[in-house]
Amino acid sequence: MTTPVSSLHQPSGNKSGNAERVWRYYVLFFFSGFPALLYQIVWQRALFTIYGVNIQSVTVIVTVFMLGLGFGSLAGGRLSTVTGIQTLRAFGFIELSIGIFGACSLAIFRYVAQFTAGASTATTGIVTFLLLLIPTLLMGSTLPLLVEFMVRRSANVGESVGSLYAVNTFGSGVACLFASLFLMRMLGESGAVRLAASMNLIVGTVAIFLASRARGPREAEKQVSPLNIEGSRRTIGMASSMALAGAAGFIALAYEILWYHIYSFTSGGTASCFANLLAFYLFGIAYGSLAVRDASRQKLRNDLPQTLQAASIIVVLGTVVSFLVGPAVGFSVSQGHIPYSWTYPFIAIAAALLGAAFPLLSHAAIDPAEQAGKKLSYLYLSNIIGSALGSFAIGFVILDHWSTRQTSLLLLGLGFSLAMILTYLARPLFSKVLLGTSLAVCAVLALLSQPLFATMFERLLLKDSYEQGTKFTNLVENRSGVIAVDRTETVYGGGIYDGQFNVAPFPGTNGIFRAYAIAALHQHPRHVLIIGLASGSWAQVLVSHPEVHDVTIVEINPGYGQLIQQRRMVSSLLLNPKVHIVIDDGRRWLVSHPDRKFDFILMNTTYNWRANTSNLLSVDFLKILREHMNSGGVAYYNTTSSSEVQFTGATVFPYALRVSNFLAVSDSPINFDRARCRKILMSYRIDEQPVFDLLKEDDRNALEQIVSLPQANSENRQRGLDFSIEDRSSLLNRLKGTQLITDDNMGTEWKPIGL
């Protein structure tokens, strides 16, 4: 039975029956948003494992994912206009299709990886697009379908878009938060995907069931007939609306990339950082959308100038708050002495303001009587394309040339430009006052940007131990992250200790005696691979080994080369004819060079709990590493004292030897040859200068400490494992029952630090 027009617009309790029916569609869309972001987190991680975690792969994967959603929105908009299509039933079948693909997704990725792993960036982009095309098209199509469904009930675009966008986005935010807190740690990649697929299947089944419960075969469509909607109202042109929606998306996602640049440094690159940031970002957007819903129900219902003016004001406020997020976090963790995790609400506030722009623009651009779902799909596609361009431009191009401060100023200018355009379109009486005020605020922030950002990264790194006047001697920002060097010549890559410019074995805070111990592990390490350059100190020691003929170094961040060039103790490394430096992801490079084999492979791996570190520590990776080792070859890598890392290496290889917190593994027996080590170290020279002056007692003692590393026993274990060696049988016995690290479980990455 068709619902009377009057009942759709009653402000009183006459709408209660309709509200009771409507809430279940919001619940469905909430649970539709939950698996979507769970898929994104897992799929991105799985594809990074296949194609590497260099910035090109990251940007390509994120951009393709978003474009798929945008084109899916376009398809959903088209579908919503097809005569005879029951939108709720169509939504249900789409959810079922997403769940079926999701359940098979990781197996599909692994199958395709056999043929494409290690491919070029262009090939990676094409393959990723094809892999994600079907599921992202399906995901993107659901919003226009349900908007069409709901607009015909409420006759209000802002209310419908705001409500649906809010509940779906809130579901996605909850998924991110749960993934960070326990899902990824407890379920791993495959378990998280199974959960997401199950939720899709349940949502799809319930939607189809609700559609079938209608009292007549077309009851749902009769209820939502366009004839029930009030007469048309004034809107802005669709072309202008699409351009504005694209600009809003560009600014919002550009800020998200910039915030991750900042928070990744602040957190030291924890795996949970991105998920937490994205959760609060989505919570903010959800709240902003709800605010638009409430406003659209009341004073903005049919008032175009008021809608545009509201959009202008929130864009100005959102731009100001977004610009100040980085400095605010820096001052909070240093002067305010609060944990950085407590500053995520800053992201939510900024996102709430920026995220409210899209529902407001939708309300200003779409007449509810004229194919709301189809028109919404155009705006959503524009918003997604703008978002993808914002992610690509900032993450791939701008951050490689401009600092965080300069990039923030650019986005500040873009935000105020968008606000001025909206103000011009609104043409209210006070537009000149708002325009002048906005320009003044923009100018003041630009003038204050230097002191606001001057010590931001120092504050983010040192937090409550920051002292006024502390400055890094070097700060390198690029699209791969942030590298800082303090006055003690200690290097911090991505906000965590990454070594020190030092080649002296003792005293040495970088524990470089472990590099000199290589002389005891392999008799003739002629062909060497080093994954990770950092300060270059380890590479300088190894390339100076008299038996080394050539060294290939794979480093993901080119910024280290700039710093090495400025340090005399390591600068010769860049000119050494033995050395060939490649800028790439280590795992990706190995897969794309299957014929390269080495006598010795060194990885001074970062902390085991950092994001993507298990890509270089898992059983799956060690099997790849094994294929690149010559007969008698040795791989030697930093376990950062992780029991899981040590146990995994000792399990995969038949021979293993722990040296301090490093682990040497091989398919051949490993003999810690003390006599050979002493002989080589006595003649060791770096840049033609002897490392050990045997006329000096301190140098003789340092050499002896390396040569005489004791066998581990219960006594020195109680004192710590820093200065001992331990064989494989002892390792396996001591670590019995420890979990192996795999690509699927990701090792310790999602564990709270300290567990």
- Give tens-digit pLDDT for 580-613: 999 999 998 999 899 999 999 999 999 999 999 9
Average pLDDT (416-427) is 86
In this predicted structure, what is the pLDDT of residue 441? 86
State the architecture of 507-734 in CATH terms: 3-Layer(aba) Sandwich (3.40)
**What does the alpha-carbon distance between residue 532 and residue 543 come to, in Å, rounded to a whole number?**
14
Average pLDDT (622-629) is 97
Give residue 20's pLDDT band: very low, low, confident or very high (50, 70, 90).
Answer: very low
What residues pair up with 125 in beta bridges, in sequence order? none
3-state secondary structure of 654: coil
Give residue 218's pLDDT band: very low, low, confident or very high (50, 70, 90).
Answer: very low
Does residue 51 register a pLDDT over 50?
yes
Question: Beta strand pairing status for 527-531 and 550-555?
Answer: parallel
448 membership: H or E segment, kind and range: helix 431-453
In this predicted structure, what is the pLDDT of residue 672? 95
Q: How many CB atoms lie within 10 A of CB 226?
A: 14
Question: Over pLDDT 70: what percentage of the chain?
Answer: 87
* Average pLDDT over the chain, rounded to an integer: 86
Does residue 721 register a pLDDT over 50?
no
Average pLDDT (151-173) is 75
Give the least confident one: 204-218, 265-279, 391-405, 612-626: 204-218
Amino acid in position 267:
S
- Which ranges constitute the DSSP H helices of 179-303? 184-212, 219-223, 238-267, 272-297
The winner for highest mean pLDDT among 246-250, 360-364, 504-508 is: 246-250
Average pLDDT (153-169) is 72
pLDDT 10s digits, 335-354: 988 999 999 999 999 999 98
In this predicted structure, what is the pLDDT of residue 349? 95
Higher local confidence (pLDDT), 167 or 581: 581
Give residue 395's pLDDT band: very low, low, confident or very high (50, 70, 90).
Answer: confident
Q: Where in the chain is the domain with CATH 1.20.1250.20?
A: 17-227+240-453
In this predicted structure, what is the pLDDT of residue 366? 79
Give the pair of three-digit tokens for residue 728.
Answer: 């494989």
Q: Where in the chain is the domain with CATH 3.40.50.150?
A: 507-734
**What does the alpha-carbon distance between residue 240 and residue 426 come to, in Å, rounded to a whole number?**
13
Higher local confidence (pLDDT), 534 or 75: 534
Does residue 425 register a pLDDT over 70?
yes
Does residue 163 register a pLDDT over 80?
no
pTM score: 0.88
Q: What is the CATH number of domain 17-227+240-453?
A: 1.20.1250.20
Give the least confident one: 88-102, 203-217, 346-360: 203-217
In this predicted structure, what is the pLDDT of residue 217? 41
Q: How many residues does the chain have?
A: 755
In this predicted structure, what is the pLDDT of residue 219? 44
In this predicted structure, what is the pLDDT of residue 436? 77
Does residue 278 register a pLDDT over 50?
yes
In this predicted structure, what is the pLDDT of residue 478? 93
pLDDT 10s digits, 668-699: 999 999 999 999 999 999 999 999 998 899 88
Cβ(634)–Cβ(522) below 8 Å: yes
Cβ(589)–Cβ(554) below 8 Å: yes
Give residue 85's pLDDT band: very low, low, confident or very high (50, 70, 90).
Answer: low
Does residue 731 register a pLDDT over 90?
yes
In this predicted structure, what is the pLDDT of residue 221? 44
Average pLDDT (568-585) is 95
Scanning the structure block, which residue is given the tokens 């710093």? 563
In this predicted structure, what is the pLDDT of residue 55? 63
In this predicted structure, what is the pLDDT of residue 153? 67
Does residue 442 register a pLDDT over 90?
no
Name the percent of the chain in helix, strand, coil, to the closest 5: 65, 10, 25
In this predicted structure, what is the pLDDT of residue 233? 57
